[in-house]
Amino acid sequence: MPLNIGAATPPPNGEHRPEPYAGRERKRAALLAIFVLSWVGTTLAWALMESRGVSSPTLRAVFAANIVFHPLMFAMVYWRLLPEPVVDLSCLLFATGVCAACMVLRLYFPSYGGRIDLEPLYLWIPVIYVFAFIVAGHKSSLRISLGIMALFLVISLPYLLQSPSSRFANFTVQLHMVSAVLVAALYFFSSYQQRLQAAQLTMDELATLSHTDELTRLPNRRRISQVVGYELTRFERYGRGFALIMLDIDHFKDVNDRFGHPVGDRALKALALRARQALRDGDTLGRWGGEEFVIVLPEAGLDDALRKAHALCAHVARAPLIDDLSITISCGVASVTPADTAESLFHRADAALYAAKQQGRNRAESAAPA
């Protein structure tokens, strides 16, 4: 099989590390986008009311405050000045309760507030829908928003039926309409965002799978080739040496023939675990194919690697691998030289492995320099 040598690619350890803050960063980006959307929505609502001539000095003051509030929230989230999560369910319930109470008072007990005008307070209703889309996934948010819309509709319906042509009825209808458009926009945006996240997740999973051996879950041949390519680049650029150990199970065909393929598979997995335990964190153990494994040892010279290979042979042979099945391994060791390419390095390690097999197995041999 031809080598797939990647250029200076990622971390030498061969394991996929998920970006720890990716989810939180996406949430933050969604929140910022929602602020922009909500700002545009409320500004449009204001413009609509002005064009219909149903605005008032109080409403103008409220909308102006709203227009300042959104950039302020945007800045606070953008510069991480708020604790996380910014909004939770209790926040949403509280805001809904306050707005519902204001609506009841304004519609049915207009004189209750005395000199306090309750009307502007329930202009915060669109913000509640924004909250709803922050606290939950897009489907739950839609259900919560529709529930809140139904609540406000039920509260205002008797008033709308009773005085359909009043200025305030007109305003209430417009508010419901703006709310419906806002919820639809938020739902669209948030489901799009969720689809993007799912696609990103699938891509991450695919990337991991394409570098992982299915049976042992170790880095596969492609990944090992990339790691060796990365180490070669480091060697050429900074003179940091590294070594390879090629490791092959002795008489593995007999294991399959005597105990069957499934037992052979279990042995391969157990060997992967046992070998991994004997290595340092920065070393990469991968499955090269069949019963052959490769270990990449960064910063190791030939003697270090040979010592490690001897220790590995002893470590594997020391106790049965699975049940009563004991196996031995042979190792070929090569360390990088300036004359090496990835192919020549693998070739030399393979030749050393062949020598180890020839000399009786359960042993390690080192390659002659390139």
Q: Which residues bind ligand GTP (CB under 6 A)?
A: 215, 248-253, 256, 261, 264-265, 268, 290-291, 357, 361
**Least separation, in Å, of the C-beta of 358 and ligand GTP?**
10
Question: Which CB atom, from 178 or from 356, has the smaller least distance to ligand GTP?
Answer: 356
**Least separation, in Å, of the C-beta of 323 and ligand GTP?**
15
Question: Which CB atom, from 9 or from 256, has the smaller least distance to ligand GTP?
Answer: 256
Under a CB-based contact definition with an 8 Å cutoff, are residues 245 and 350 in contact?
Answer: no
Q: Which amino acid is at 54?
A: V
Record the tokens describing residue 16, joined without a space. 């996929």
291 noted as active-site residue: yes
Question: Which CB atom, from 160 or from 263, has the smaller least distance to ligand GTP?
Answer: 263
Question: Which CB atom, from 123 or from 268, has the smaller least distance to ligand GTP?
Answer: 268
**Least separation, in Å, of the C-beta of 354 and ligand GTP?**
9
Residue 337 and residue 267: Cα distance in Å, rounded? 34
- Which residues are CB-contacts of 368 (< 8 A; sequence separation ≥ 6)? 348
Give the CB-nearest residue to ligand GTP.
264
Q: What is the DSSP letter of 124?
A: G
> Of 19, 50, 231, 291, which is the active-site residue?
291
Record the tokens describing residue 36, joined without a space. 């922009």
**Least separation, in Å, of the C-beta of 232 and ligand GTP?**
27
Which of 339, 340, 330 is CA-nearest to residue 365? 330
- Which residues are CB-contacts of 197 (< 8 A; sequence separation ≥ 6)? 26
Half-sphere exposure of 66 (CA within 13 A, CB side): 26
Residue 11 and residue 222: Cα distance in Å, rounded? 14
* Catalytic machinery residues: 291
